[in-house]
Structure 1
Amino acid sequence: MIARSWDRWRSSYIGRLVSESMRSQGWRYGVAALAMIIVAASSAGTAWMMEKIVDAMTTPELRSKVYLVAGAVIGLFFTKALASYVQALFLARAGNRIVASQQEKLYRQLLRRGVGFFGTTDSSDLLMRVTHGAQAARELIDVLMTGFVRDTLTLIGLTIVMVYQQPVLSMLFILIGPIALLGVRHLLKSVRNIMRAEMASLAEIIRVLQETSGGIKIIKVFALEDRMVERMDTAIGQVEKRANDIAKLQSIASPLMELLAGVAIASILVVSTMGIANSEPPTAGQLMSFITALLMAYEPAKRLSRMRVGIETCMVTVSMMFELLDQDEAIQERSGAVNLEPGNGSIQFNNVTFGYHSDFPIIKDMNLSFEPGKTTALVGQSGGGKSTIFGLIMRFYDPDTGAVEIDGHNVKDVSFASLRRKISYVGQDTFLFSTTIMENLRCSAPEASDEEVISAARAAHAHDFICEFPDGYETQVGENGVFLSGGQKQRIAIARAILRKSEILLLDEATSALDAESEALVKTSLKTLTKDVTTIIIAHRLSTVLEADTIMVIKDGRVIEKGDMDELMKKNGSFRQLFEQQFKK
């Protein structure tokens, strides 16, 4: 029975968090626990010393011991102060390390997740789990340490002093005290429900802020300020209401303890004057020692009565953190995965079927080859599966059936690092990091020299506009390149791909944000970039793909036409219809 209970405890979130924290920060918590024991002993010693202090002050024959008692009091309080400092310092350092380590693990777990995970999970929810979850883990450990070590031992020590000085009155304290603890048990279910709702409201606040930051132009153009204010006010109001509910539940314990203290002190006055507690009336020192112990026991008893509420408050957020850590990775690197060696960059789809939802396939039994060193264009109406083909090549997703092969290797059998080194990508939604232009260019090839970076920028016709900025390549681009135009961002992305020098190049509407002049310049640079590189281009503007070696028309997850420009125009099929729609003149 004991073994089963221990296993259940260890498998719980609390047990797991404590085990992990003690493994990494056990020595710091050990020092803090030792300091807490000294604090608890000092608190009990303070109450005990009150008898000596009062007796030395009120009993003439003990006056000679006043200096000895005074010295003992100074030593006792110095010891308690030093132990309190050590406890606070080591608890803080251990707690800060726990927050940092949990956030590090959470972020690494996020990076291991597949692209599909981020498409189905709100970023506001992730922010809540990473920030609040790690902080709640630290708070939970602190609550457990201070509650079970400092407060419990302090309460035990003070109770011993009370029992020694006034046994009968102490029984009143011992009997009434648990009533407050029993009352708290009924609050716990309410706390859990309120905290889960509060986390959802906090996530909504973050979501509104993100949407405001990213969509401020749309908000302004369509005059959505009032609607956004209404959403934010609603979310803030819900958080405020639930915070008030939590405060109300947490505050119930304090009046119970206040009542207990009042009853106990009133009883002392009655019982001590009537001589009920002892056959002989207590001395002034004994009575003062008991009262001091009783009053000092009030705070740790109150904290212990509220500890379960605090634990439940933290556990809601901690459980959200562990849920994220424990989620299975949809896309995993196989044990013993091989490295893709340099090759010609051939790509083969063998009977590939894939859908983001199992009952709705996007790619259907696809068989196709991308010739090494050649340029292949994918055209067709939106939703046909072109971008999904890119996702399967980069192994953002795994096929439901069939296999994707690069240089004869199933991409499931190769390491992520070697697969990604083989591929460069330029998307239509260009993403830039909030740093300098130089760092954004160099992120594709960290080892590249400044000269190589500038050469790539020249090839993408980005060098001239970069040099026009006062800080040149050290210009800050802002959050996701907000300080740059769409065309400038896209040319930086193309320069980034040129710098990488990969065997496979994927271009998804890579020139969609360029004006005609810039597009002509970039197309010239792409000719150099794509020479002897396996290049796949997704384009809706056919002007960008007319010179491709092979053009594939994708519709409903299948290749319905394939050939070069001349062959497809002779067929009078889907490609010719697309061509004539765009080039009517």
Structure 2
Amino acid sequence: MSSPKSANAFRNMISPETRDTVKRLFMTDGRRHWRGYALSFVFMGIMAATTSGLAYLMGDVINRIFVQQNSSAIWILSAAVVTMSVVKGFAAYGQAVVLSRVGNRIVADNQKRVLDRLLSQDVAFFSGNHTAEIMLRFNAGAQGARNVLNLIITSLGRDLLSVVGLTVVMIIQDPFTALIGLIVMPIAVGGVRALIRKVQKIFAREFHSAVLIMTESIDAFQGIRTIKSFTMEDQLTQKIYGRIDSLEKASNRMVRAQSQSGPLMEALGGVAIGLVIMYAGWGVLHGGRTPGEFFSVITALLLSYEPAKRLARLNIDLTTHLLGARMLFDVLDKPAVEVDPAGTPELEVKGGKIEFDDVFFGYRETEPVLRGLSFVAEAGKTTALVGPSGGGKSTVMALIERFYEIGSGTIAIDGQKIDQVTRRSLRSSIGYVSQDAFLFAGTIRENILAGRAGASEEEIIAAAKAAHAHDFIMGFQGGYDSRVGEHGAQLSGGQRQRIAIARAFLKDAPILLLDEATAALDSESEAEIQKALQSLQMNRTTLVIAHRLQTVINADRICVVERGRVVESGRHDELVAKRGRYFSFHQLQFAGQQERLSA
């Protein structure tokens, strides 16, 4: 039921982008799983053959049983119908199972590939993309690849073969009836072509609205304390309600556009059936044709109606899945940023001396953060970075772990430039504790084990005791198996911080970075954590960021960082004696404390 004209029309309504995406899917996932698709295609061929055979047998059923009244034909034809139906049922089961297994494997493989590619991106990538968009690409991309391939395979194997087989039956029984299909199909394809462009535009808007809803909802759920504190519920609900209403309208337009192909095919199908009944009925009554031929043709035409309708709207159905497949390729095509060249040496930490030499860096090209920063953190000693907010102190920590690449200058550890060693060896040598201790949504044990996978229970408990965390952990009903909640929401700030310190103890890295590790804590919690940190700092090169100077008075070296440069450095007493910038900070903080004490 096709012609050169209809084939050209079908090709023309497929955009080059769609053709390229489909081709790439078949060359990647399709090629990897061709055996499974070939087997499912065989099952679908059996289904198409049995469907066509049943339509053909209707002629013999009518002629031999009802016209010729042949008793023996009842048993033969009934057995044939039953056999074909059973074979069709088993084939349908086989193709469904095989296609599902292949599809599930494609989803699993692509999720692994996307995860690998995402984890090979740098921190800047995750800073510039919202979690909602990343998760949509992770899930919708893998699902889209499977859905596109399954839809095309089933359309070709089940629907197209069924239409071809049933058309052959109509040609055998009455060639003139096949001509009706040649007339109807181009009209159907041409009618659907205009709908495809409309559906693509609507779906793009619908997808954008869905991303915005997910983005703002995640922000709301993660920032629920801030929302409730500032009584933002009404403001937030109005904003998200507007997004939801917009998505509802787009979805309704999508349904209307997609549903327009149904009435078109219903009308054309009715016209085709009416013409066949008229022609075939006239042939039986006045043309000497048998009733069996009439019923066989009608059966074949009716059975071909649904697969023909699915084929006509194939491109519309592909639209929604192709966007997911393109999202998949967008991620997979991103170059892996954090991939070390083959042969890159590993970092060998002997003492842990950290050197910054004339380092320039900016998150944006026109907005420098570090402007020729130079300092040395001596091996086995504690170096503190102090200064006003925005001076670049936290940036120093991020650059040491190579979360970002510097613009110019050098950063070295024990004389080895960190951009010339593997990232894994570099980060394995560093323990990091920040004021915003991140905990995974698992158990306390799992979060401590993040410091060193495979550690024994004794080592976990020893790390928790060193972090002054063991006592409160054992106070929980589940002990180390207690769940911490999302981002550790079921723990207090001090408890989260001590688990993060236990994780650093378990890692036992020679270099330690402390970024305001006690800034957000009350005095009692801070005192406990300071004890743990003092134990952790022993025999390690430690770099500390602190706004409260009381916590770094005993540091071996204090560097005052302003506007991306070290403007002063020395021990506490030396810097106070200089009466420079450090002295100003010291006076502001301790004068305030004296005022509070005297009050």
Regarding TM over 0.5, the answer is yes
Q: Does 1:57 align with 2:68?
A: no
Deviations 1:19-59 (A, max 9, x none): 22223322221211110111111111111111011112223
The answer (yes or no) to whether the contact 2:383–2:557 under 8 Å persists in 1 is yes
Counterpart among 412, 417, 420 of residue 413 in structure 1 = 420
Specify the SS of the correspondent of 2:301: helix
Q: Which residue is 2:322 aligned to?
A: 315
- Per the alignment, do residues 165 and 452 of structure 1 end up closer, same or farther by CA in structure 2, a change over 3 Å counting? same
Aligned-partner Cα distance in 1 for 2:319–2:498: 52
Match 1:222 to one of 223, 227, 230:
230
| Per-residue deviation, 1:299 | 0.4
Which residue, out of 86, 90, 101, partners 1:93?
101
Alpha-carbon distance in 2 for matches of 1:272, 1:160: 16
Structure 2 residue 363 is the aligned partner of structure 1 residue 356: yes
Q: CA deviation at 1:486?
A: 0.6
Structure 2 partner of 1:467: 474
Match of residue 159, structure 1, among 151, 160, 167: 167
Q: Tell me the distance in 1 between the aligned counterparts of 2:364 and 2:338.
A: 15
Of 580, 590, 593, which residue of structure 2 is paired with 1:583?
590
For 1:287 and 1:580, how far apart are their aligned partners in 2? 104
Deviates more, 1:400-409 or 1:120-129: 400-409
What letter is aligned with 1:493?
A: A
**Separation of aligned partners in 2, 1:278 and 1:174:** 26
TM-score (ref. length: structure 2): 0.93
**2:536 counterpart letter in structure 1:** L
Alpha-carbon distance in 2 for matches of 1:477, 1:382 = 31
8 Å contact kept, 1:390–1:506: yes
* Counterpart Cα distance in 2 of 1:11 and 1:350: 53
Please report the RMSD computed on the Cα atoms of aligned residues, expressed in angstroms: 2.0
- Tell me by how many angstroms 1:11 deviates: 9.0
Q: 1:244-294 deviations in whole A, cap 9, x for unaligned?
A: 22222222222122112211222223323444x999332100000000011
User: Kindly tell me: are residues 10 and 304 of structure 1, through their superposed partners in 2, closer, same or farther at Cα, counting changes over 3 Å?
Assistant: closer
* Structure 1 residues 8-407: aligned runs within 5 Å: 12-60=20-68, 62-275=70-283, 280-407=287-414
Secondary structure of 1:336 counterpart: coil
C-alpha distance in structure 2 between counterparts of 1:421 and 1:273, whole Å: 83
Pick closer, same or farther for the CA change 1:51–1:505 going to 2, 3 Å. same
SS in 2 for 1:398: coil
Aligned partners of 2:168 and 2:158: how far apart in 1? 15
- Kindly provide the CA deviation profile for residues 211-261 of structure 1, in whole angstroms up to 9, marking residues without a partner as x: 222111222222222222222322222222222222222222221221122
CA distance in 1: counterparts of 2:34 and 2:293, whole angstroms: 40
Aligned mates of 2:428, 2:457 — CA distance in 1: 20
Unpaired runs of 5+ residues, structure 2, are 1-15, 595-599
- 1:431 corresponds, among 421, 434, 438, to 438
Cα contact 2:277–2:298 (8 A) shared by 1: no
- Counterpart of 1:351, as a letter, is D
The partner residue of 2:541 within 534, 537, 540 is 534
Cα distance between partner residues in 1 of 2:171 and 2:538: 90
Rounded Cα–Cα distance in structure 2 between residues aligned with 1:476 and 1:274: 78
Runs of 4+ in 1 over 6 A off after TM superposition: 8-11
Gap change, CA 1:273 and 1:157, over 3 Å in 2:
closer
Change (3 A) 1:579 1:287: same
- Residue 10 of structure 1 and its aligned partner are, at CA, apart by 11
Task: Indicate if the aligned counterparts of 1:128 and 1:199 stay in contact, CA closer than 8 A.
Answer: no
Once the two structures are TM-superposed, the CA of residue 61 in structure 1 deviates from its matched residue by 6.0
CA distance in 2, matches of 1:518, 1:402: 39
Q: Secondary structure at the match of 2:313?
A: helix
Match of 2:555 in 1: 548
- Judged with a 3 Å threshold, the aligned counterparts in structure 2 of structure 1 residues 278 and 388 are, in CA distance, closer, same or farther, namely farther
Equivalenced residues, count: 578
Q: Distance in 1 between matches of 2:134 and 2:167?
A: 46
1:10, 1:16 within 8 Å by CA — same for their partners in 2?
no
Q: Structure 1 residues 196 and 98 mapped into 2: Cα distance closer, same or farther (>3 Å)?
A: same
Q: 1:331–1:397: 8 Å Cα contact kept in structure 2?
A: no
| Structure 2 residue identity aligned to 1:129 | R
SS of 2:59's equivalent in the other structure is: helix
Aligned residues of 1:349 and 1:369 also touching (Cα < 8 A): yes
Name the aligned partner's letter for residue 226 of structure 1: D
Q: C-alpha separation between the residues in 2 aligned to 1:178 and 1:88? A: 30
Q: 1:281 to 1:257 in 2, by over 3 A?
A: farther
Instruction: Name the CA distance, whole Å, in 1 between partners of 2:413 and 2:461.
Output: 31
Q: CA deviation at 1:84?
A: 0.4
Question: How far is 1:194 from its partner?
Answer: 1.7
Partner amino acid for 1:409?
Answer: Q
Q: Which amino acid aligns with 2:275?
A: S
Aligned equivalents of 1:343 and 1:33: distance in 2?
62
